[in-house]
Structure 1
């Protein structure tokens, strides 16, 4: 085996969500936007009080790989959807929320147990942020080298978060569509903003593949995408982990790819 490739393969496994196709470059990720840079983090406003945070992991042979999450204003505080790749980057997200927005992060939800989604969870715990995740995410986290979230989210049989999580994470609407990119992937809706976050399950409208399927629920991927679409029928802004936000054509393209599995 080529030794360069041999060195990259473990890194790809660690990154977990990186697909079989090359992701958007930094320029493509932020082209046409009014991105605000703060240290290693970029922030783009998707809706009033809703910001997308983007951080990059530089992999040899692949370049900087973007990963997106959300910051959502809730009164005098903000809610965080997913960490950055690293603790250091996540600390910068927390600092931006507190120092620039004057709304410190009070709680965070993790959408699955991969590095691009919870690689910075230790920084959240160090800062005293209340963290939430699917029970399976918490079970898988130590196996992947991460601290589990402090709290497990309870879901109804039809996939909606209930109980303490629904209260603590409001106004976020937390929805488990079923297994797709991973068995534990959850999604987020903000109905008042016409926005939904599909995480790593949803790919952009020009995607050629569904990316890394190593931990995927291939059999149920398509049905889970349909569930996501039905859960947030009025969402016109579809945000996702590794591409810029766009319209519902991203869901349609993802479903086309999933139907071909």
Structure 2
């Protein structure tokens, strides 16, 4: 899969380490993996949630060499197993690790639309289907997989953590440093802005927004995404 499908801008924070793990709060961590295109390194953000039953990954590492090191790092850091892996859409930086995690017996989860797109593109599918706009409770923690409409891809969902008011936007949300929307042939630019409006109507108060790529610690991601979409109108 070409990097163009991911809609990236060069990361200003690309590190030498292939895997970075940063604490958001006691239950939620962000991990970053990298890939290189045209000699430039790009960062992909994803999160994991610590529950009493184990750890839930939201999206898989973009770098295939980090599928197992991520599990090892989590085990070393938290002494807990990964019990589930969810994908926010079908691209390689989100669901590329499904084949590996399926093979070692970790349950994988995706929407029917994502699984259909994975199948159509001859990629490994999730072992379980999930419903959107429903609250899931696992081991004392809760999360919602929301689908507000097409955008970066036709199937992009976001993950809402209601207790913390944190939004994992995946590639539906651009970084504040993004220069453009990237490659959008797998998505729908005309639908993206109204899809984003539905998200903001649903969640008017968000404490933190995590974009799929690049800088994530500031608060400008949604405004930047809106601005980039407005430029395309």
Q: Which residue of 57, 63, 67 maps to 2:35? A: 57
Equivalent residue number for residue 234 of structure 1: 205
Q: CA deviation at 1:259?
A: 2.2
Equivalent residue number for residue 48 of structure 1: 26
Mapped partners of 2:53, 2:79: distance in 1: 8
Equivalent pair of 2:13/2:215 in contact (CA under 8 Å): no
- The count of corresponding residues between Structure 1 and Structure 2 is 231
**For residues 23-172 of structure 1, what are the structure 2 equivalents within 5 Å?**
23-27=11-15, 40-61=18-39, 63-155=40-132, 160-161=133-134, 166-167=136-137, 171-172=142-143
Q: CA deviation at 1:208?
A: 2.2
Mapped partners of 2:122, 2:32: distance in 1: 22
Q: Residues 206, 100 of structure 1: CA spacing in aligned structure 2 closer, same or farther, 3 A cutoff?
A: closer
Mapped partners of 1:125, 1:196: distance in 2: 26
Equivalent pair of 1:87/1:120 in contact (CA under 8 Å): yes
Q: CA deviation at 1:124?
A: 1.4
Equivalent pair of 2:61/2:97 in contact (CA under 8 Å): yes
Mapped partners of 2:63, 2:220: distance in 1: 31
Equivalent residue number for residue 220 of structure 2: 249
Aligned partner of residue 80 in structure 1, secondary structure: strand
Equivalent pair of 1:132/1:149 in contact (CA under 8 Å): yes
Q: Which runs of 4+ in 1 moved over 4 A?
A: 167-170
In structure 2, list runs of 5 or more residues that go unmatched.
none
In structure 1, list runs of 5 or more residues that go unmatched.
1-9, 31-36
Equivalent pair of 1:87/1:122 in contact (CA under 8 Å): no
Higher relative contact order (CA 8 A, sep 6+): 2
Equivalent residue number for residue 195 of structure 1: 166
Aligned partner of residue 192 in structure 1, secondary structure: coil
1:216 aligns with 2:216: no
Q: CA RMSD, aligned part only?
A: 2.2
What TM-score does the superposition give when structure 2 sets the normalisation length? 0.90
